Structures are given as C-alpha cells and as structure tokens.
Structure 1
C-alpha cells in the first residue's frame, strides 16, 4: 500500500501530546476518558493511532461512534485525507442508508444508532478491538445505551475490548466511574480567541412553547446575522433549533451578499458536504445542533447563536413523544462559540443578555430523563435485561417512564408479560414507531369523531395479527368483533386514546399547527424515534371538510384510508399494476399474491418492510384510498410546475403536477426554460461524468498537464483533477456551448480540449508559458521528441536508454524532475529513476550486464556519459 500520509498535519494536532497517556491508560485499564477541547484532533488522530495506522502501534480494528451522520461522514473523510487515501480504504464509515468500507478498513466511523443495531445482531462485536464513543457529553439516549451495552460486553464476554469516552465538555468524573474508575486523560487545546457580543432583542419576545418559536425571535436572529455580516469578515454560522426555524430565517435573509446554506440532520449529503468544504465566496450557514461538535466548518469566523435547542418530551398519558424548543445550556453555548475560533480569531453573537446567561442550565438534560423510553425499554429487553437494572448508566431511567414504556411495549405486542421480546418486538426495535400517529389521532378525530379515530390509531399503534390480513379496514372490523388475545389490548388502547382526546364528539382538540408546518414520515426500515419526533419535524394541519355530524357515517374503508394517510402521508401510494405501487416518498411497494388490495388504485400504506437487497417494500398493512383523500392528507407534498431534469440518460422536459414522487398529471414541454435545460445538462454531467463530452487524446493530455501545474504551482493554474472541480466552473469553460445544448447528443459534440483552453490563466499572461512549464514533449539527446505523461503524481518520460547517452541531469518540468522510465531496445522498462547522474554511475552497469547479451546489435558503452546518443543499432551507426 502506497500512502502519502500528511505527517505535518498530524503532528500539528494538539491532541498528539496526550496520545501516549491515552495509550498507556488503555493498556493498563482497558478503558479511558479523553477530554479534549474542540479542534484538537481527538476525533481524527486518536482513532488512527489506536488502529496502528499512524505511529508504530499494533494494528487494531477501531469503531468510532458519532451522534450524527454528518459528523460520521466528516470524521471519516478527514481521517482518510490525513492518510492520503480515499474513504473506504483504511478508514470508512457507515450511517443509515450509506456505507463506505472495504476489506482493509481499520477505522470505521458509525452513528450510535448503527452501532446499537450492530450490537443487537452481534453482542460480542467480533473483530472490533477498540470502540471510541465520541461527543459523549451530548447524552443522547442511543449513545448512553451503546455505552451500557459495551460495558456489559466487556464484563461478560470480551474483557479485552477497549473503550474510550471522548468529548470536549463532559462530566469526566462521572464517565470515569461508569467505565470502572477509568483514567482521565486531559488534552490541551490550541484555540483562537472568540469575542462574545451580547445581542438581546430590543423588545421582549415570547419564550418558546412546545415546537413554537416566537416569529419576533426569528426576525431578531436574522437581523443579528445581517449585523454580523456588516461588522465581521468570514463565513457566519447561525444556530437554530430546527428545520422550520431555519427556513423562516433563510426567507428573511434574502438579498444578503452571501450564499445561504441550511444544514441539518435530514439534509442531503451533498448539502452537508458543501457546508464542510471551503468556498471562495462568503456564506451564511444555518444549522441545527449537528454543527455543534465533531466537525470543523471551514471559513467560519462568526457564530450567531439563537440560544435555542430541541429536546425530546413525552406525554406518558398518551405514550407518545415529541420535540420541544428549550433554552440551550451553557455547555452548548460554549460548544457553539468554539466554532468561530477553530481556524482564526472570531466572534460569537449571542441573541440573549449576559444577565440571562448565568441562569441557563450548565449542561443539556440527558435524554434518558426526558424521553419516552419505549425504544430504550425494547432495546434493553432484546439485550436480555427488561428492567434495565443491570445496565451501567450514568443516569438510571425514571421508574414512571420505564413503567409507561413497558406498558406501551405490551400494548403493541412487542414484549410478553415477563418483559421478553416477541418476534414482532424484535422487528419493531429495528423499524421503530413514529410520533406521527399523534397527527393521525388529532386530525382523524376532527374528521371521523374521537372514537373511530382512536380505534384506528390504536390499530396502527400495534400491528394486528397476520391472520387479520393486510387490509386495514378489514382488520379494524375483525378487531371489533374479535375475542382473541389481541382484541382486548386493542380496545384498551383505543379507549385510552379516546379519553386523551377529551371530546367524544370529535371537536378538534386545540388550534392547528403554525402556518407553513410540514410533515415527513420516516423511511421504511428506519428507526423511528419513539422517544421523540425527528429533528425539526412538525405535523401537518388538520383535515377540513370531513368533520361534523356526518363524520361517523364515513365508510370503514374511507375512514381507515384517511387515518393511515394522515399518519404516513409519504406512504400514500399509487398503483403501477400487477400489485405494485409507487409511494409518494419515491419507494416502490408490492403486495403479496392473493391480497384483496391488489386492484386498488391508491393505497395508504400503514406497515411495510424492505427485504435486503430489494428495491421495493413489502406491504404488511394498508388501506384503500381515493385520490382526493390522498391529496388532502398529503397536501404539503403537492407541487406543480415545469420539470426539466436529467432522467434515464437524457434531458426530459415536462409540465407536471406531483404528489411527492407520484405523477398526477404530466405533458411534454415543447419550449422549456433554457436555464432549466442548462441546469439539467450540468446535472447530467455531474451524474454521468464529463465523459459525456468529446475528449480527444490531445484534450486528455491538456487536462493532465493543467492538473500537474495546479498541483505543482497552484496560483492561477486551475484545478481540473476531478469532474466536480470542473463542474463548479462550468460557466468559465463550457460556455457558450453548454447554453446552446439541448440534449445528450449536443454534449457529445462539445470539444472538451478547446473548452479547457478557456481556463488557462490568460489574464496574467501565464497561459503563454504552458509549453515552457509543462511541455507536451521533451527533446532528448538523440533528437527524438518524447511525449511526457502527466497523469500520475510525477511526470513520466518513457524513452529508450540509448537515446539518453550523454545526458547528465534529469530533465525537469516546472522545476520538478521527471520520472524517467528507461526502456530496453524492445521498448520494455529496464530501469526507473529520477536521478540520471546516479543511474549512470551505478545502476547502468547492472542494466548493461543484463541486456547487452540480449540486444547485441545496440550500443552498450562502458561510459554512457560520453557516448553518442542514438535511436539506431550498431549497424546503422557504422554506416
């Protein structure tokens, strides 16, 4: 393996000084607590050292657990970069829906949720030598559960498994006790000063309540961002509690002289990666807590902190969880402020007063104290400890919350009376349960009346027995008349939900959500957080036009379809034929042979799972739906307009009305917007690569030469090494050809070499030196002009050995010695050198001894330094 380890970057990481103490602590105790300030390299250097990828340590397999996907990807990419490798080689990562590991992977960065599921499948964690729990101060329930399970594994199965709890700000003493009186290793930080600017609102704002944030508070945050842009340089990182607040603030930042990005846990990977990549232009990055730790956002010099955060809350009476907006802790404030001092001196604008700051809580509350513990209780039951009394936890679960959680698990058939998991419970531990059921209950009551809505939500809360069939309406009827073990539990849950609504007549319970609220059900197979809604999630507004006296008269089929669609609007599905459906989320769904639902035009899918390696979900429980109800329940997914996109290898232009991924009405566009066509073509180039253009051999050579000059000289020489770098500058080199193109065939007519010439530094005059700095060919002493290969890290000159007689010094291009491939008379490599003088003095003798007998017709002088270079044989030379 040939790696270009960035030793200087590794040596510059402040945590390096603490590594020997950490290694000694692990050797002696097997566990350790590492306290390292932000920016010290604890997330990147420590795993590499523990894995033996850096230094002289023993080779081990290390798993690093991060609380968030964005942090896991960023950490893996940073470590791979430090090793001079691609992600998936020595360092890889696994997050939900994305995996990049290989056979040589020694360090794998995962989310705590992934590690939790892995432990449930393999309690021994076979093949893993060290686990690093990063950012353990955040006290996420999954992270606490993983720590407890790992300690149990060490105690009972694998005492040799090493554990490190790492964080910038944490209860070091508490973690040390938890890890068996583990040593605490402190790392000194090297951070830049961060000036604190107190920026409270001029007038009082209402405190957050539930998910609601006072619009005046968000307007104030936007004004502080504008102020920071005026007063400071660099990028601005603004912390907000959720996705909805980010959208509102972004809407109020229109016209600012900066790019506005929104980064959150559910953002596409490309958006997250863009925020973690340095940019030439100024940016305002709106972020949730995902940006608090475990990663550096390049270019940030200013932080604007709204002072708000999202924490899970639970209503044990209903057995349902949600998120609440709260004041962020002082520890969170320190973490957020530290983002401004990672690369240079910075400033933090805090949107509250200094007097308020001292009244904030010191640390965020552990999730185990606040969350609905149904998911935790199910994980503990699957682990073999239903009461969780044998698990090592920093905070014991509250007795009342655990009792409520066990009741929920029993009600849905996840555990038996002894607390042991059922088969269905194991599956539910992997699929989870989503708080969107609250939306189905509340809005369903307004449409159907409290009793019927509660019965249907109870039916969705606990999957009915398979013998009930896959038709939700039929299952509802079977439950009402049934006398088996399921029916009493279903009735009890339905009555509890009906009582919780508090109005048997079906009066809408409370006001609708704030304007603009949107919903998003979890992906099939994803772990839906019983202990809280997804980050920034909100329920859609109540359904109108179906309530009143006639609500009870709706047929069972219509009622079941409405409630299922309200619970899972992204699973509204349109028939494709043959029992196959397309859901609004874009996922395919299939019904079992013989299902009575196969002829339905629309379905509301309530329960589904995705088999391994299958592109479609298998429908377990669903209800027949009509298009009007689908439009009503999933109204926030309705969109119409011109669509011009790269699809199936070419540009497709049409006018469409969609319900998410479902096409409702489409027609071709004869004259699409040229700007949309151009964007589709760029997307095609991004998707399929710049190979869609016409690349002649000369064009490929020019690209390699420019790539060499960029690596060697930088400055005005452009970065053309990969497609993404070129596509970022499409306006600079692909115009006007790209604007004239309309389809794939037009791209194939664009001469890439001619277009690349536009990127040469003509303005500075450096372009005229292209042939001087990176000549296409080099003339050798024999008179031959030999082509230089610039595709590798070092330019290569492949030439027959006899043609270089008399050449004492290695040729150079842009000051870099070429790598000379000395060829035999047959054109086969005889030697490789970047130092011809040394080769003539030493290596030549061995080559001469080996080859002159094989090629007697060619000259092999004893002193090549004074011999005449030639392309010919001895016979030609004597003529």
Structure 2
C-alpha cells in the first residue's frame, strides 16, 4: 500500500490525502483538470456538485474517485466514495485498475460490488458499483449515511437506472449538504446534467431573492481531448446490414474479413497494434470471433467481450496485451464504447450497430432491437483507436448511413418497460416520478401501464405509493413480476426451484426459441462460468424467498406441480398475459398469447409442437422466425393446459357471447383464458344479452343491417331536411345520432330481434315516428309534404335528399345544376304539366325552393331549374325547337304562359 501523501494534492491541501494522485495520474490527461474540479467542489459549501465532461480514455474514472476521497478525508467521519458504472465488467475493471495504481490489494482501499460478487470491506474508501446496487441501497438507506460522495459515471449513456439516480440523489443532497455529487459524461450534453444536480445554497444563507428557487447549475469541468491523429476509412458491405431476422450473416462476414485484413496490415507496420471490433450483441460477437480465428494472421489472439462471458474472460480482454504476448483482436459489444479502456488498441472496426430497448405497447412486448448507433457513439468508438498513438477506424458502412443516424443515444426511459422503475419510484415516495428532477420525464402512457401492472401485483396502493409487499418485491434483483413469481412460486414448487427459474429468466439474453426447461438442465450440471454465476444468483434469490415468502399471503397455486413444469409455472405466475396456446390448424410454430398477441417459434426450436407454453420473452420480428405473425418467442417453457389455467387463473372468464348475424341472435357460453378460447357451448341468450348483441351489430354494421323500407327512408329524408333547416326540436336522424339513441326510438323492435324475430319483419317507419316532436309534428305535412300538386292536377312525389347526399353534393358540386342546388328537394315532372306556372314552390315555411327536373314525354330530363319563370322566358324556346319534331304528338306551344297544362297527348286533350 502506498503511504498517504500530499505530493499532488489540489490547491489548499492540508496533508491528509489518502491517495497519491501524482502517482495514480501519471500520463493521464485528466490530471491537468484535478485542481479545477477540486475548486469547483469546494465552491459548493460544505460539499458541492460538479459535472465532469471528458472523452473516454482521459482518466476521469481513474482520477476523480481518489480525488473525492482525498477531499472527503478532511472532514471528520468521512464516508466512502461510491462510483457507479453501467456494467459489471466496467465496475470490476475500474476497481482493479485503481487498486493496482494505488499499490493496494483489491477489496481493501478500493473495491467493487456487482450482482453476485463483492470485493469490499469496512476499510474500503472507493467502491465501484452498478447503478442497480446503489438504487437498492438508497431504498434501504435514503440518506446514504455511510457515503461521503457519489460519482455517476457515463451519464451520457442515458441508462434508465442512472437517470433515476440523478433525480433521487439530487433530492438526497437537499437533506445532506455534506454529500458530494459528481456526474461524469463523455459527450457535450454536460449542461443538461449540471442543471439537474445543481447546488442547493447552504442552509445558513437566507438572503437569496424570493424568485430564486435555491438551485444553481453545477459547475462543468472540462478536460482537453487526449486524442492522437485518427484516420477514418469507409468500407461499406455489398449486402445489407439488417434484414427481417436481424443482422445478416453476410454483413458479419464482411465485418470479420475487414477486421482481419485491417489488422494484418497494421501489425506489419507496428507489431504492438491491437484491434477492437464493435458488433451489437453477444451472438454477433461469437460469430465474428469464430470467423476471425480462421482468418486473422497466425498467432493472433481473438478475445470476446460481452456480458455473458465469465469475469475472468472479461478481465483478460480489458487488461491489455501481456509482455511479449501475441497481437490481439477484441470483439466486443458497445460496453467497450465508453465505460472501458482497452490498452493497446490502435485500430477500431465498427459495424455501426447497437442494441437498444424498445417497448411495443399495442402487443405488450418489450425487448432489445438492433438499430444504427448514434453519431456520438460512433465517435466514441472511433476515439478508442487514438488514445495511445495515431489510430485508424474502419467503418463498415457508408457516410450517408452515418449522417442519417441519430445524434445521440435514445434515452432508455423513453422506450423501455417501466415496471421496475415505477416500483422504485413508488418506494422512494415519488409515484410515477412526480416531483423528481429527471433528465427526461417518463412517457405518461408507459408509466401508467407500469403502475397498473404494479397494482395488479399488489405492489402499490391506490395513491401510487408502495405497499409493504411492494417494498419486499423491490428487494428482489429482478423484474417486479418475477419477484412476485419468486414468492408465489415458492409455495407451489419450493423455494429452491422457484429461485432457479427466476434466476434463469432474469439472466442474459438468449437466442430466439430458447427452451428454458432444457437450459435449466444444462445449468444445473454445468461447471462453466455461466453455471457458476447462475448458481450464485439462485442462492441469493432462495434466501430472499425463504425470508419473504409470507409477505404475499395466500398463494395463487396449491397442490403438486409436475417436475417438468416447474419453470413454466414460475414464468406463468410472472407473466400470465404471456401464457400461450398453439393455434390449431396453423402448424406447430404459431401461438396465441393470452394477451391477444400472436407469435411464432423459429424453425428447429425444441418447443415447437407443445400445445401450451409459458413465454418469458417475446419481441417483434419478421421473416421465418416469426412464422408470419410479426413476433417471435425468444424464450419459453412448456406446461400443460391444467397448469396454465391454474397459474393464470386471474385471466379466466366465463361469459355468454351473443351475436346478431343474418337477422338472428345466437349465443354461446365461452370459457376463456384472456384471449385464448378454452371451450364453447351453444346457449339461449337472455333478453339483455340479445339486446346488447343487436346494438353491437348495429353500431358495427349500421342501420342497414335492419334496412329501411321505402316509407321509412322517405320519412327519414323529410326529417333530415327539417333538422337541417329548423334544428331542434326536429330530430337529428343521421346514422350516428340514431345509433346513439337506439333505446329511445327502437326499443320494442330491439326486444323483438333479441327474442328471435327476423329483420325482414321490422319496418322502421313507425319507430322513426317516435322521434317526432309534439306539437310541432302536426305541421310535418305542411313543412315537408310527401307530394306536390302541379298545374296539370297531378300529385308528384317529392324526392328529399339524404343528409349524406347533401353533404357530398355540397363538397363536389352538381354539374348542370343551379347554384346551391345541393341538398334540395326534387320534383321530377313532365314539362307539359307545368305550363303557365310562374312561381317556384318553396318548402319549410318558404326557406327551401323546390328543384324541378323537367322531363320529356319519355321521362328523360330536359332541364333542371328552381326558377320556372326564367325558364319559360328563355331556355324553353330552345327546348321546344329541339323536342317538337321528336315528340310531335305532345303539345309544344310557342307561348307556354297561356297553354293549358296537361299530362296527355294533343289527341287526348
């Protein structure tokens, strides 16, 4: 261990430093910014806040924690410095590096705590943790009484848990003025975080202006970039990067081949050059690494770096080349993008792809999707090649793709399932994030959906605050639904088996179609690191289950569960909406989930053919994997129909479903598990069920399901005109209005249809008369008569337009019609029957002129007019000249004003 020293203390040190910053910071660019950061923190009073903005590789993660430890050590009873890292591998690597530079044993002065692993003790001064670890500490100890400073690293990655910590720790500082808080970002978005964690003025200061809310933005401390010259090459693939199934194998081959060629050329010039290859996920890492082992230069060591490899393999990848060791190519997910520095890397090969969470609210699905990485991420990846000397980045895509990528990463809070976050916020006392200063507010719909899930679990009360059960579930390091399933499942399958299933489901991502029951058997007998990590998770979860199982009260399931269905039972308890049944007649790979979503199994999955599945993960997908459903089952376990209905019994419903079709009401008694039909039996509908069925059919298909007789249609048209011209009390008889008042005007007929009457026996004329207003209805024949007597003595039916016809004519116009002719009542009559008629009749108390269609003797239209006097004085002469030779037996007088109106020929007049 290095002795305490004052050799590189920031200005004002008093000889109590516990870390030798000069020795630790040798060669690191951020050493130049230590004094600025120390001054910024002192400016906040007893303890301050600051935002550190520095590119990856400058040494901020190595130097800022010991600086804060030195500052805290000058106060009596100072607590430890807690540093969050977004990934377990980064937390372990950062702790190992700082301990090595300090010359102390890991776990003594410098340590770490991640899920299932801890190297820290009572004397630890700097502890690296994942955000989830610190969140749960906050719930247990909201004041963080044993902590003197918190550093939130990589806040620019916008992880959901880090965003929550920003808001929660800002509240802690309002109560604890001695808690130092530093946020560190590798991008230029620092002012955003500075505003969130700004200093609260000292409690003694009461002189601020009334408009001042007491908050000041935290100071931002920059660090100059330590980049050497960087060469950028664009090497796009001939084939596309993505298809319906995800990343194409052709593109991954291109990435691997580009990496092999670029690295071979680099080591010919400088044998010390190592390469770092970025691909989006664990499967792609394994695929590219496997291809590289057959194509890289002889003796090249190809290493994999992602969350599923063992801690020892991760440490090997990030520890740098051994003295005299072979050249290395590290194939990694984006965890090496900013939170890890891999020594020796001077060449980066970038696929330009990443995995981000996405939530599909309509289908009730969430998961990771492959998308183009942001431009900020691409720059950080490229910068990894120029930390220790001139570097080179090979981008396996073109500049247009780069330009079309988003500028920054999508905040996880905007796209992820928020159930776990909602529970943490409820336990914190900020239901839904109310009153909490977060970088981005959670989407209201997603948060309300998450809170509703928590209500169903019994985790939150009506006011949104956590119940006792909710606080118990928050202690389980898993999704709240899995946490509840752990406790419920313990009563059904035992504490150990329930813990096994939850540890299995909450583990790392699996390939589509994974059979969880088979995977459990592999893990139980395995000796590889994945099995050991899983076994440790099982022990931890089993201890929680034994301690807290009584918190849920009466168990959902009782009785014996077959051994082959233990995993399926726990999954079904956690996600009853994902219990799935194979769709009969659609092959062995298509399933209907109880939520109503259809999903497919990839070809070759051992789950194909099982009638029932408990689905742990389902995500949107296309192509063969989805079996034409638009979604793919990523992991599931088989179970029987009896077990499925018992585990998801809250979704069981027994209902009578009545339908009205082809003029008749029929009904069936149906038992359903959510959207899954279990059984169906014909029954006689009750009158209420029949009425509801008819009403639903009419609402869906319209009143034409019954049909309007000629008389009913004519009455409806007359009423439509009166409502249009006079308004109330004349009724609105549009489709929408009639459907909204079915019981008012169609009640007896609905009863008849519900009782089995046929639609053919129902005339809607009398039902429509029930809508007539009294005493105004006595003027119906006067205001809108059925027929009009013309000068010849004939009574001609008036054709009233429907409201829909009026609206359509008004929007499109009628060719060869008088102005404003749309929606007019029409009288079609032979021209000779109107001789001498000068004044055009008007309806509705003179408001609406009748539109005449004047017909030939063969009843073909000759003219359309609502001004008879003008017609006789003008256009009639042209009509007469054209028609008298064609119809010589009918009168065509030169003077229509004095001619006798007639419906007869000249011979019969």
User: Residue in 2 aligned with 1:194?
Assistant: 230
Distance 2:55 2:148 in 1: 25
Shift of 1:422: 2.8
Distance 2:54 2:431 in 1: 35
**TM-score using structure 1 length:** 0.53
Shift of 1:242: 0.5
Considering only CA atoms, is the larger Rg found in Structure 1 or Structure 2?
2
Distance 1:427 1:197 in 2: 53
Residues 319/118 of structure 1: CA separation in 2 closer, same or farther (3 Å cut): farther
Shift of 1:221: 0.8
User: Residue in 2 aligned with 1:116?
Assistant: 135
Tell me, what secondary structure is at the counterpart of 1:324? strand
Distance 1:6 1:395 in 2: 36
- Find 2:566's aligned residue among 590, 596, 604: 604
Tell me, what secondary structure is at the counterpart of 1:232? helix
Unaligned runs of 5+ in 2: 5-19, 199-216, 268-272, 526-531, 550-554, 572-578, 580-604, 610-909
Q: Does 1:391 align with 2:410?
A: no
User: Residue in 1 aligned with 2:39?
Assistant: 24
Tell me, what secondary structure is at the counterpart of 1:52? helix
Tell me, what secondary structure is at the counterpart of 2:566? strand
Q: Does 1:302 align with 2:275?
A: no
Distance 2:84 2:534 in 1: 33
Q: Deviations over 1:360-415 (max 9, x none)?
A: 11110100111111111111001111121211111111111111111222223322
Residues 189/321 of structure 1: CA separation in 2 closer, same or farther (3 Å cut): same
Tell me, what secondary structure is at the counterpart of 1:261? strand
Distance 2:570 2:533 in 1: 11
Tell me, what secondary structure is at the counterpart of 1:267? coil
Distance 1:137 1:464 in 2: 34
User: Residue in 1 aligned with 2:511?
Assistant: 538
Residues 2/262 of structure 1: CA separation in 2 closer, same or farther (3 Å cut): closer
Q: Does 1:259 align with 2:301?
A: yes
Q: Does 1:91 align with 2:110?
A: yes
Q: Does the 8 A contact of 1:310 with 1:535 survive in 2?
A: no
Larger mean CA deviation between 305-314 and 271-280 belongs to: 271-280
Q: Does the 8 A contact of 2:279 with 2:331 survive in 1?
A: yes
Q: Does 1:274 align with 2:316?
A: yes
Distance 1:199 1:539 in 2: 30
Distance 2:476 2:521 in 1: 15
User: Residue in 2 aligned with 1:352?
Assistant: 397
Larger mean CA deviation between 421-430 and 230-239 belongs to: 421-430
Distance 2:254 2:358 in 1: 26
Q: Deviations over 1:407-460 (max 9, x none)?
A: 22222332222222233323333436569x9xxxxxxxxxxxxxxxxxxxxxx8
Q: Does the 8 A contact of 1:76 with 1:108 survive in 2?
A: yes
User: Residue in 2 aligned with 1:107?
Assistant: 126
Q: Does the 8 A contact of 1:292 with 1:336 survive in 2?
A: yes
Distance 2:220 2:450 in 1: 35
Shift of 1:254: 3.4
Tell me, what secondary structure is at the counterpart of 1:470? helix
Q: Does the 8 A contact of 1:572 with 1:584 survive in 2?
A: no
Q: Does the 8 A contact of 1:569 with 1:634 survive in 2?
A: no
Q: Does 1:332 align with 2:377?
A: yes
Task: Give the number of aligned pairs.
Answer: 508
Distance 1:104 1:465 in 2: 36
Tell me, what secondary structure is at the counterpart of 2:427? helix
Residues 117/266 of structure 1: CA separation in 2 closer, same or farther (3 Å cut): farther
Shift of 1:253: 2.0
Residues 36/402 of structure 1: CA separation in 2 closer, same or farther (3 Å cut): same
- Find 2:453's aligned residue among 390, 408, 418: 408
Tell me, what secondary structure is at the counterpart of 1:253? helix
Residues 232/63 of structure 1: CA separation in 2 closer, same or farther (3 Å cut): same
Q: Does 1:126 align with 2:165?
A: no
Residues 3/54 of structure 1: CA separation in 2 closer, same or farther (3 Å cut): farther
User: Residue in 2 aligned with 1:471?
Assistant: 492
User: Residue in 1 aligned with 2:617?
Assistant: none
Residues 33/571 of structure 1: CA separation in 2 closer, same or farther (3 Å cut): farther
Shift of 1:9: 5.0
Q: Deviations over 1:604-646 (max 9, x none)?
A: 246889xxxxxxxxxxxxx9xxxxxxx95699xxxxxxxxxxx
Q: Does the 8 A contact of 2:306 with 2:332 survive in 1?
A: yes
Larger mean CA deviation between 345-354 and 596-605 belongs to: 596-605
Q: How do 1:371-770 residues align onto structure 2 when only pairs under 5 Å count? A: 371-431=416-476, 463=485, 470-471=491-492, 536-540=509-513, 569-570=519-520, 604-605=566-567
Distance 2:75 2:94 in 1: 21
Q: Does the 8 A contact of 1:430 with 1:526 survive in 2?
A: no
Distance 2:42 2:569 in 1: 48
Residues 295/11 of structure 1: CA separation in 2 closer, same or farther (3 Å cut): same
Shift of 1:341: 1.5
**TM-score using structure 2 length:** 0.51
Q: Does 1:212 align with 2:246?
A: yes
User: Residue in 1 aligned with 2:754?
Assistant: none
Q: Does the 8 A contact of 2:166 with 2:196 survive in 1?
A: no
